[in-house]
Amino acid sequence: MTQALRIFNERGLEAFTDAYRLARASKPKQLMDVAHLINDRNLTTLISENTSIEPIRFRNAFECGQHLYELLDSLKGDLREHNIDPLTSQRFWAWMSALWSDVLQRENDGKPAKGLKYGHVGEISRWLYEYSDQNRWYRHLLAAPYRIYSDFKDDPSAALILLDVELVHPNSRRLEVICGSPNVYSNKEFVADLSRRFRNPLTGHIRDAVATFEDRSRSAGSFDRLTKVYNQLAKNYDLHQLSPKSIRDDLMDDEFAELLNFR
């Protein structure tokens, strides 16, 4: 079926939020049912009929971000005409989430998502894009991959450390602490250096060994500690003007030797 691009109005956003709350509280667990909202003319506004959007399943967040970036870039004229900025529009991403809702509530094998705090839907920030909250924006299942890919569009592979994660279960510790730290996230060269070091050249994916530095949580040599120390250094140094090598060799303690010199 051909699906045009639409956006929720305020009533649509409210209906979508109500559907989320109903699914979150359901016992036994039920999938969120929002299919009837997607093309409701009383709840949505048409943006473009010049496309057909298919809610496909992505292997990871990188593939999702790439697909959405290319899709929305091809429709930037229509989005601009309706004063919609995908980087900041909560109503737009709520509608996109409704369209992808069945995919986003299932594991790769098609079974309902498990291991979430609330039913098959999880926390609300997975569905409602809180673009200005530095501790929550990266939790949205669609907007976050799009935003990260957009921010690194000149070299998307530089963000592999952030985007080579499962779409339905994306919140790895490295994603949480790097995206949740504006100082670190905005230093694209530093993030790119981490991506290069942990990328497996044979598979193109982040090496499984990255989990070693996530499992340590806040202990020495972990991603948590790295971002904490980085932020402390940022108070005295303009780290954006230094190369990753200079930061690594001249400013960081031996605590991070294994992480920052990983090969």
In angstroms, the CA 113 to CA 211 distance is 22
Residue 44, beta-bridge partner list: 8
- CA atoms in the 13 A half-sphere facing the CB of 105: 22
All structural domains of the chain with their residue ranges: 172-263
Helices and strands (H, E) in the chain, number of each type: 14, 2
Percent composition of the chain: helix, strand, coil (DSSP 3-state, to 5) = 50, 5, 45
Token pair of 55, please? 């809610």
Token pair of 63, please? 């593939």
**pLDDT for position 260:** 83
In angstroms, the CA 126 to CA 136 distance is 9
Q: Which amino acid is at 258?
A: E
**pLDDT for position 218:** 63
Token pair of 220, please? 């020495």
**pLDDT for position 138:** 96
What pTM did the predictor assign? 0.94
**pLDDT for position 21:** 97
Token pair of 145, please? 């991959």
> Distance between alpha carbon 190 and the CA centroid of its chain, in Å?
19
> Distance between alpha carbon 82 and the CA centroid of its chain, in Å?
24
Token pair of 75, please? 């429709």
In angstroms, the CA 135 to CA 139 distance is 8
Q: Which amino acid is at 191?
A: V
**pLDDT for position 53:** 92
Q: What angle do CA 104, 110, 113 make, to 5 degrees?
A: 50
Q: Is 115 helix (H, G, I), strand (E, B) or coil?
A: coil
Per-residue pLDDT of the chain (263 residues; tens, 9 = 90+): 579 999 999 999 999 999 999 999 999 999 999 999 999 999 999 999 988 899 999 999 999 999 999 999 999 999 999 999 999 999 999 999 999 999 999 998 899 999 999 999 999 999 999 999 999 999 999 999 999 999 999 999 999 999 999 999 887 889 999 999 999 999 999 999 999 999 999 999 998 888 888 765 667 788 999 999 999 999 999 999 999 999 999 999 888 888 888 77
In angstroms, the CA 104 to CA 56 distance is 10
Q: Which helix (H) or strand (E) holds 188?
A: helix 188-198
Token pair of 186, please? 């905005």
Task: Give the pLDDT confidence of 209-243 residue by residue, as tens digits.
Answer: 888 887 656 677 889 999 999 999 999 999 999 99
* Alpha-carbon separation of residue 195 from 153, 203, 262 (angstroms): 15, 13, 10
Task: Return the biggest CA–CA distance within the chain.
Answer: 60
Token pair of 26, please? 């359901």
